[in-house]
Amino acid sequence: MVLSLAGENVTANLDAGKPTAVIWLAEHLDRLGFPEAQSDLLAQRRLQRRADTKFIFGLESLREILATRIEDFALVRANGLALANYGNLYFDTQDHRCLHDHHRGRRDRYKVRIRHHLDRRMSSLEIKCKTRADLTVKVRHELPFGQEAFGHEHRAFIEANSPLDFDALQPALRVDFCRLTLVGKEEEERVTFDVWLRFQGGGRFQQLPDRLVVCEVKQPRFRARSPLMLALRQHGIRPYRLSKYCAAASYLQPALGLKRFRPYARDIERAARR
């Protein structure tokens, strides 16, 4: 079995049309002078099983937060770049089981995707599970770079790590973005800031506001008083439950009637102005 979106090239237009705000952020990071995270620290901060807390806000808030947190974090670079380019292809069943499980708040729930680390020229098949304990567990299987198909050799991996029917999975939506990643020097914490989010699927395309930042704080267990969590609170930024896959579906597949996800567009526009 081959699963793919025909005619797509994961490296096409990698920098084409990159917003001025995103270019500014990359240059600003270089000026701030965060130390680069070394391999031993990265190994300690992988956090494949973790508590995730998400936030949405604007680029101005990010600028202020970064300026106060230089001493606490190291910067993860991708081939020397402060902002890494990610490409994601999500898979779902024809009746959108993964999407509806999330909409209903079901635990355990699963997402299946192929993720491309474009700057490092690495690809992997990934399965994420949100558990009943509100933890995120992620497993991955390496793929040749750029591969957007998998065959029967991947059946065992998918069926061992999810209840999903391998034969029922098909390409659903694309979610692409640039990512800034920081890891705590002392704190067991990994923080990602995603910008320039683009959604594609079903013949539709949606780019979110240039100044929007989607932040995710990853911790072995939830801790409200970590350096980054405190900085967010000081700026009046509160947690916001957002799935990029579900947000993409709310924009690109309105006919599905996902009522819980309807506020996304309003809240995203509002957050980008902060």
pLDDT digits (tens, 9 = 90+) for 166-212: 999 999 999 999 999 999 999 999 999 999 999 999 999 999 999 99
CA distances from 33 to 26, 74, 138 (A): 12, 10, 31
Spans of all domains in the chain: 20-272
| Alpha carbons 237 and 207: distance in angstroms, whole number | 23
45/52 Cα distance (integer angstroms): 14
Helices 263-272 and 244-252, axial angle in degrees (round to 10): 110
Mean pLDDT of the 145-173 span: 93
20-56 confidence digits (pLDDT tens): 999 999 999 999 989 999 999 999 998 888 999 999 9
Q: Let me know if 26 is exposed, middle or buried by CB neighbors in 10 A (0-12, 13-18, 19+).
A: middle
Give pLDDT, residue 9: 55
Q: Answer yes or no: CATH 1.10.10.60 is held by domain 20-272.
A: no
Nearest of 152, 153, 148, 144 to residue 122 by alpha carbon: 144
Residue 82's nearest CA partner among 181, 216, 196 is: 181
Dist CA 155 CA 171 (whole Å):
16
Does 88 have pLDDT greater than 80?
yes
| 110 band by pLDDT with thresholds 50, 70 and 90 | very high
Structure tokens at 96: 């959108």
- Residue 1's pLDDT is 37
Instruction: Please choose, from the candidates 155, 178, 174, the residue with its C-alpha nearest in 3D space to the C-alpha of residue 166.
Output: 155
Sign of the Cα torsion 16, 20, 24, 27 reads positive
- For 82, the token pair is 């402060």
Helix (H, G, I), strand (E, B) or coil at 23: helix
Instruction: Look at residue 223 and give its three-state secondary structure.
Output: coil
SS3 38: coil
Secondary element (H or E) of residue 140: strand 136-143
Determine the distance from the C-alpha atom of residue 217 to the mean position of all C-alpha atoms in its chain, rounded to a whole number.
11
Q: What is the DSSP string of 116-132?
A: EETTTTEEEEEEEEE-T
Q: Which CA distances in Å does 36 have to 127, 157, 260? A: 28, 34, 40
Neighbours of 82 (CB within 10 A): 21
Q: 173 with 200: CB under 8 angstroms? A: yes
Residue 7 has pLDDT above 80, yes or no: no
